[in-house]
Amino acid sequence: MLGRLTVEALPFYSWVAMGGAAVTVGGGIAVFLLITWLRAWKVLWTDWLTSVDHKKIGIMYVVLALVMLVRGFVDALMMRAQQAFSLNSEGYLPPEHFEQIFSSHGTIMIFFVAMPFLTGLINIIVPQQIGARDVAFPFLNSVSLWMTAAGAALVLISLVVGKFSQAGWTGYPPYSGVEYSPGVGVDYWLWALITSGVGSTLSGINFIVTIVKNRCPGMTFMRMPMFTWTTLCISILIAFSFPALTVVAGQLTLDRTLGFHFFTNGDGGNMMMFANLLWIWGHPEVYILILPAFGIFSEVVATFSRKRLFGYTSLVYATACIALLSFTVWLHHFFTMGSSANVNAIFGIATMIIAVPTGVKIFDWLFTMYKGRIEFHPSMVYTIGFMVTFVIGGVTGVLLALPPADYLMHNSTFLVAHFHNMLIPGALFGYFAGLNYWFPKAFGFKLDTKWGIRSFWCWIIGFYLAFMPLYVLGFKGMSRRMEHYADPTWQPYLIVAAIGALFVLCGIACIAIQLYVSARKWGSARDITGDPWNGRTLEWATSSPPAPYNFAVLPEVTDIDAFHDMKILGQAYQPPQHYEDIVMPKNTWIGPALGALAFALGFAFVWYIWWLVALCFVLSLVCVGIRASDDNSEFVLPAAEVARIERERLAQISPADMHDMHDYVPRGAASGAPLTGTV
């Protein structure tokens, strides 16, 4: 009846495991009680969970990412604490628990922090940046969100029922095969990946179609804001690389569940194919995480330098180059597998080439700042911190791209330091910059800057303290993922790294305090114009938070930085001649239902509860069938209602709230003159 699920699966075997389970269950109960106490269940269900509004879906993605960031960071803290003390001793974590922690840390940070964070920001902003009322497939968007949430839920429930994978976030066989990992851990990992991977693929397709088909009149490809460009590129990367993850995860699942021999040690399996297929997905994935952050940095640096982005065209081409090249370097993740010199050399050279367009971008941002009137808003400070720190990571990356050097540093803490050096400044700082930059757009009031700056300093100091020692330790020969060690000269470095983790803890606390403080005094920090930073792109033309339809009348665009030009020319905040009816998608329960079914399906597969697998499968088909035959999924918002909302908004804006644009002159196509002079 319950497959291999028995009472033994509950975590009564160790205090640490029970602690983790208690926090998870306790957190769930606390949230449940809070919502009940606020009597918010109905609002939550009708306005949020069933919503197909891209802004709300985006906010839910970001909330999911922040919750999982805390979970993933607790893992990091536990690892740092273990290694700080485990010189010639067991530390406080047994090996099998330590292994689960580094596996879940990587899995969570990649799939359930970075992916939902960037998808959330994209959801909130991109349709507004291209002057659209919605994404191409609003319902599919809801399905994507709930598939991702289902994957996250599978990782969370593994803390309470059963165990998580011990095979690292990359899960290489044969260790992740059923012979060496017979438990449910690897299955949880696989089903979390497959479920969230389906969600990501759907959102990739959704945003390709949105950007290609839904741009407002006049917005040619070369007039799209940089963040939209990076989104288009990563959506293509998602659509074409996630199939590889689906294939490799599916094959390992078949190996484990039905006794296939794709990656087994004997019977004609080939475990090296796993590494090959995994990294065909894995390397583009790195750029999927980083490119949207590059887009955010581009927006932020132009806005807070009060200048047009330097070298827009070169940034576009650099992004496109990175996107294509990211499919040609995957072997550098396994140089040491023993390919011949020719193979390693070609992939090494390709890897070094990919550093070139990335360098182009750094110069473009620096030249944008050059002679600009820089304002040190938290998002700008994060951007500057990123540029300084990311370059160090880039340099160590080029070092690792040399196969002979890689043979020495492979699987050492040098590698760990390198990829954290790319992903913390390169991705996470970008998302935090985006959070500070676009928060008023999503919620209608600004975030506190004091706590924003504090969070930045804690994060950057914490980052350097935590990871610079790991570079040194890598040179001293320390392997990654060590539960304990015997070299006393390592310990001081590991203690410094642990102190760094405590600084990062302060950084996360600052963000929490920032959110709390800002919410407490939101009335005094309201964003009335919808344009708090004198922004340049179309998302600042809508109200904050935007009306459900974003734009009452679709804007027309003649140049990049469209909204900036509108403000200079006095065209912003002007009521249109007349309003029109607007078609809106209706909310639907099918998105969350499919997510719940995906979660149950994954759980049933993990525990071999076959009747539940069949039931979930059939119910999913029924849900899809109900949706497919529903020809009444939209409604019309009448023009009168649109006019009421818009008049109310415009009445609030007094000229004193607007930015003084006297110092600016329109540039490029909007000025009607060729590109001369400086701003």
Partner 1 sequence: MNHSAERSLSTYLTGFVLAVLLTAIPFALVWGGLLAGSAVYAVIAVAAVLQVIVHLVFFLHIDLKSTPAENLFFLAFAAVLIFIMVGGSLWIMMDLHHRMQ
Partner 2 sequence: MSAATILEEEQKHALHSREFGFWIYLMTDAVIFALLFASYAVLAENSAAGPTSNDLFDLSRTAIETGLLLVSSLTFGMASIALMHDQKGRVVQWLFVTLLLGLAFLAMEMGEFGGMIEKGAGPEVSGFLSAFFTLVGTHGLHVAFGSLGIVVMIGQVLVKGLTAPVRSRLMRLGLFWHFLDIVWIGIFSAVYLPGVL
**List of residues contacting partner 1 (CB under 8 A):** 212, 236, 240, 244, 270, 272-273, 276-277, 280, 327-328, 330-331, 337-340, 342-343
In the complex with partner 1, the residue whose CB is nearer, 276 or 671, is 276
CB-based contact 67:511 (threshold 8 Å): no
Give the distance from CA 45 to its chain's centroid.
Answer: 25
Angle of helix 449-475 relative to helix 378-400, nearest 10 degrees, comes to 10
Q: How many other C-beta atoms can be found within 10 angstroms of the C-beta atom of residue 658? A: 15
From partner 1, partner 2, none, interface partner of 201 (C-beta below 5 to 8 A by class): partner 2
Give the distance from CA 434 to its chain's centroid.
Answer: 11
Q: In 280-360, at which residue ranges do the beta strands (DSSP E only) sit?
A: none
* Distance linking the first and last C-alpha atoms of the chain: 72
Q: What is the rounded CA–CA span in Å between residue 393 and residue 386? A: 10
From partner 2, partner 1, none, interface partner of 258 (C-beta below 5 to 8 A by class): partner 2
From partner 1, partner 2, none, interface partner of 47 (C-beta below 5 to 8 A by class): none
In the complex with partner 2, the residue whose CB is nearer, 266 or 655, is 266
From partner 2, partner 1, none, interface partner of 259 (C-beta below 5 to 8 A by class): partner 2
Among 184, 193, 194, 205, the residue binding partner 2 under the rule CB under 8 A is 205
Token pair in block for residue 604: 């049933």
Q: What is the rounded CA–CA span in Å between residue 455 and residue 452? A: 5
126 SS3 class: helix
CB-based contact 501:76 (threshold 8 Å): yes
576 SS3 class: coil
DSSP state of 589: S
640 binds partner 2 (CB under 8 A): no
Q: What is the rounded CA–CA span in Å between residue 231 and residue 120? A: 12
Cis ω on the peptide bond leading into residue 545 (within 30° of 0)?
Answer: yes
Q: Candidates 286-294, 557-565, 611-619, 628-636: pick the segment binding partner 2 (CB under 8 A).
A: 628-636
291 binds partner 2 (CB under 8 A): no
CB-based contact 100:13 (threshold 8 Å): no
In the complex with partner 2, the residue whose CB is nearer, 75 or 255, is 255
212 binds partner 2 (CB under 8 A): yes
Give min distance, CB of 400 to partner 1, in A: 18
From partner 1, partner 2, none, interface partner of 331 (C-beta below 5 to 8 A by class): partner 1
CB-based contact 196:242 (threshold 8 Å): no
Token pair in block for residue 260: 């296939």
Q: How many other C-beta atoms can be found within 10 angstroms of the C-beta atom of residue 574? A: 9
Q: What is the rounded CA–CA span in Å between residue 441 and residue 420? A: 30
627 binds partner 2 (CB under 8 A): no
Q: What is the rounded CA–CA span in Å between residue 188 and residue 252? A: 12
From partner 1, partner 2, none, interface partner of 417 (C-beta below 5 to 8 A by class): none
From partner 2, partner 1, none, interface partner of 343 (C-beta below 5 to 8 A by class): partner 1
* Residue whose C-alpha is closest to residue 510's, from 349, 619, 622, 381: 381
Q: What is the rounded CA–CA span in Å between residue 207 and residue 136? A: 7
* Residue for token pair 């989104």: 231
State the virtual CA torsion across 57, 71, 185, 30 in degrees, nearest 10: -80
338 binds partner 2 (CB under 8 A): no
In the complex with partner 2, the residue whose CB is nearer, 83 or 142, is 142
From partner 1, partner 2, none, interface partner of 615 (C-beta below 5 to 8 A by class): none
Site string for partner 2, 229-248 (x = CB under 8 A): ----------xx-xxx-xxx
From partner 2, partner 1, none, interface partner of 246 (C-beta below 5 to 8 A by class): partner 2
In the complex with partner 1, the residue whose CB is nearer, 227 or 281, is 281
Pairing of strands 582-585, 634-637: antiparallel
330 binds partner 2 (CB under 8 A): no
In the complex with partner 2, the residue whose CB is nearer, 38 or 614, is 614
323 binds partner 2 (CB under 8 A): no
In the complex with partner 1, the residue whose CB is nearer, 67 or 324, is 324
Give min distance, CB of 146 to partner 2, in A: 19
267 binds partner 2 (CB under 8 A): yes
Among 53, 255, 531, 559, the residue binding partner 2 under the rule CB under 8 A is 255
Q: What is the residue type of 371?
A: K
Among 116, 151, 162, 269, the residue binding partner 2 under the rule CB under 8 A is 269
Among 157, 280, 289, 505, the residue binding partner 2 under the rule CB under 8 A is 280
* Residue for token pair 């590109």: 675
261 binds partner 2 (CB under 8 A): yes
Chain residues 162-181 in contact with partner 2, contact rule CB under 8 A: none
Among positive and negative, which fits the CA dihedral 545, 548, 553, 555? positive
Close Cβ partners of 122 (under 8 Å, ≥ 6 residues apart): 58, 207, 231, 292
Give min distance, CB of 241 to partner 2, in A: 8
Chain residues 120-139 in contact with partner 2, contact rule CB under 8 A: 136-137
From partner 1, partner 2, none, interface partner of 338 (C-beta below 5 to 8 A by class): partner 1
Q: What residue ranges bind partner 2 (CB under 8 A)?
A: 136-137, 201, 205-206, 208-209, 212-214, 239-240, 242-244, 246-248, 250-251, 254-255, 258-262, 264, 266-270, 273, 277, 280, 580-583, 625, 628-629, 631, 634, 636, 638
